[in-house]
Amino acid sequence: MSKFIFFLIAISLIILALFILSFDFSPTSSKDFKYGVSFSRFHSDELKLDWKEVYLAILNDLDVKNFRFSTHWSLTEPEDGKYNFEELDFQIQEAKKHNASVILAVGRRLPGWPECHEPEWLKVESGKLKVESEQKKYKQEKILKYIETVVNRYKNYDNIVYWQVENEPYLTFFSRSTCGELDEEFLKKEVSLVKNLDPSRPVLITDSGEFGLWFRAYGRGDIFGTSMYLYIWNHTFGPLRYPISPAFFRIKHNLINLFFGSKPAIVIELSSEPWLLQSLVDTPVDTQLERMGIDKFNEVIEFSSKTSFDTFYLWGAEWWYWMKEEQSHPEFWDRAKELFSPNN
């Protein structure tokens, strides 16, 4: 057999395998899906909302039972060695009262632009060091101390189910201007630190659904989390929908399981608010509805239900509340209430 024919057969078999892997032979009913939300004071502040009012509405009115909270460094340690846990204490304690689980994200790179949330004091103090290697060492020592402090404070809360370490750390082309390049050896140190401080809980590592290769994030953590976006804004093409189907995620998920073994995997960030190039409050509501109307919202939910995942943390709950309370558009909030209903 010639090498060319062997090559054609091999390619054909790979294509056939991908085709087969794209099918989900055990359809999951909607009753089997678990939904949660990402919530942060950071995003509420952007919308000029009372974060506590928003959070309590999500907890009590939507009856959300699964949360992801982010310990944004700039909010958690506003001064060197001086910590602010008031907001997180309240969020985690209220979640516990309502029997709601929590994924707690720690690290320098956490959800929400500009991705890497360094406190101002860190920039000032590291800037005093003239050698780049010394600046890097100083920052990393401070990051580890901040992570240690957070984990030690909250590890005794039994409603915390996972620690998330960093957010999409392998998506290096995004936010390079604020995050720089990935230091994978340091990421290993962060994960190891969290595991040593709290061996009882799994560590979640996340990656981009559309651009991530997944295998590095998949191998680094105990739990894998992917983002899932359909409607975005591109500098070249403007607003667009990714030309993908649910099979795109099924293929990636099945391939990663095939080659790297099976482990728990969730959709940690399901986009359900408009993707914009400026703040929401500075964007006309009509434009926001063009980018994420209730039709697109429902499409995203339907799309996700066919991807082979069964756990989804939605991104945009603060925006749903803002649209309901400030813009007289309750349809997103009402649809979310249906998703979180125990009778769904």
Whole-number pLDDT of residue 31:
55
d(CA 319, CA 332): 9
What superfamily would CATH give domain 38-340? Glycosidases (3.20.20.80)
Q: What is the mean pLDDT of residues 64-76?
A: 97
Whole-number pLDDT of residue 2:
59
Using DSSP, state whether 134 is helix, strand or coil. Answer: helix
Which tens digits make up the pLDDT trace of 11-62?
A: 544 544 544 444 444 444 445 899 999 999 999 999 999 999 999 999 999 9
What confidence category does residue 251 fall into, taking pLDDT thresholds of 50, 70 and 90?
A: very high
Quote the Cα angle for 137-216-179, to 5°: 40
Total-model pTM: 0.92
Whole-number pLDDT of residue 15:
47
Which tens digits make up the pLDDT trace of 158-212?
A: 999 999 999 999 999 888 888 999 999 999 999 999 999 999 999 999 999 999 9
Q: Which residues face 69 on adjacent strands?
A: 39, 104
Q: Angle, to 10 degrees, between the axis of helix 317-327 and the axis of helix 51-60?
A: 100
Q: Please report which helix (H) or strand (E) contains residue 70, including its range.
A: strand 66-70
* Residue 6 predicted with pLDDT over 50: no
Domain definitions of the chain by residue range? 38-340
Which tens digits make up the pLDDT trace of 267-298?
A: 999 999 999 988 999 999 999 999 999 999 99
Q: Which letter does DSSP use for residue 241 in this model?
A: E
Q: What is the mean pLDDT of residues 124-153?
A: 96
Q: What is the mean pLDDT of residues 72-83?
A: 97
Which tens digits make up the pLDDT trace of 203-242?
A: 999 999 999 999 999 999 999 999 999 999 888 888 999 9
